[in-house]
Amino acid sequence: MNRAQRLARLLRVLAAIIAEPGLNPLELADRAGVSDRTLRRDLAQLRDLGYEVAYTSGYEVQEKLNLDGRSKRRRRTEADDALLQAVAQAVETAGLWRDTEGAGQPSARRAKPKRSGAAPIVLIPTGEDDPDFRYATSFGVETGLYIRFRDGDDVLVVSPLEIDNARSHSRATTIVEDRQAYVSDAWAELAARMLRERGFDAARVSPNLRAIHLEELRRHGVDA
């Protein structure tokens, strides 16, 4: 990736923060179309450039992103934000931006990058108090599965014992039950099947995902 492409990617991340303040890290990575690792590196570089992109206190997935310029001489205005977003849109249209980390074949220079290029998010709780799962679903459960394909398109799968409770308390768009996955503890296998049905072969997972589930996802062909 050349210097212009790196700058364009940073602009995409910064523009996403300005456009939607309060995004959590997973949401921001999805908006900017980058991997979690790329996002962490880009946020560090933005701070080095003078933009105080900071997390509030708390667990990472629960944290909110806020933006406040480091300059003491001049406060950032709405016009500045609009200009930044316009520049980000221009470099995107010109085909200068794309996330090359983990990508397959490079896209054409003039091809417009996908806005929702990030892989779906797959969460399998480590227990009822799993913070990632609770934040994503507003619901705590001992075992289950959550997949977010994109904004407004997410699925929560629970056992028949939890289905009524989940429908009453979870904010997931689609809530279903799966007795077999519950009985066999086959949530990773179910996740892999659901991803394949939607045409995905990769997923982003929580760093707290149990090793056995991660291995099972990979065994079923999911790049996680």
DSSP the chain: --HHHHHHHHHHHHHHHHHSTT--HHHHHHHHT--HHHHHHHHHHHHHTTEEEEE-SS-GGG--EEEEE--SSS---HHHHHHHHHHHHHHHHTT-----TT-SSPPPTTSPPPTT-SPPEEE--SSTT-HHHHHHHS---SS-EEEEEETTEEEEEE-TTTHHHHHHH---SEEEE-HHHHHHT-HHHHHHHHHHHTT--B-EE-TT--HHHHHHHHHTT-B-
Q: What is the pLDDT of residue 81?
A: 58
| Residue owning tokens 């056992």 | 159
pLDDT per residue, tens digit, the chain (224 aa), is 567 777 778 888 877 777 777 777 777 778 778 887 788 888 778 777 777 666 543 223 233 444 444 444 445 556 655 656 666 665 555 554 444 444 333 333 333 344 346 889 999 999 998 999 999 999 899 999 999 998 889 999 999 999 999 999 999 999 999 999 999 899 999 999 999 998 999 999 988 899 999 999 999 999 98
Domains of the chain in start order, with CATH, are 3-93 (1.10.10.10), 121-219 (3.40.350.10)
* Encoded tokens for 74: 């001049």
Q: How far apart are CA 134 and CA 120, in angstroms?
A: 17
Contact of 33 with 54, CB cutoff 8 Å: no
Q: How far apart are CA 190 and CA 217, in angstroms?
A: 9
> Which distant-in-sequence residues (6+ apart) come within 8 Å of 145 by Cβ?
122, 123, 124, 155, 156, 157, 158, 178, 181, 187, 190, 191
Q: What is the pLDDT of residue 202?
A: 92
Q: How far apart are CA 62 and CA 75, in angstroms?
A: 28
Q: What is the pLDDT of residue 144?
A: 95
Contact of 92 with 99, CB cutoff 8 Å: no
Q: What is the pLDDT of residue 91?
A: 54
Q: What is the pLDDT of residue 149?
A: 93
pTM: predicted TM-score of the whole model, two decimal places: 0.50
Q: What is the pLDDT of residue 115?
A: 38
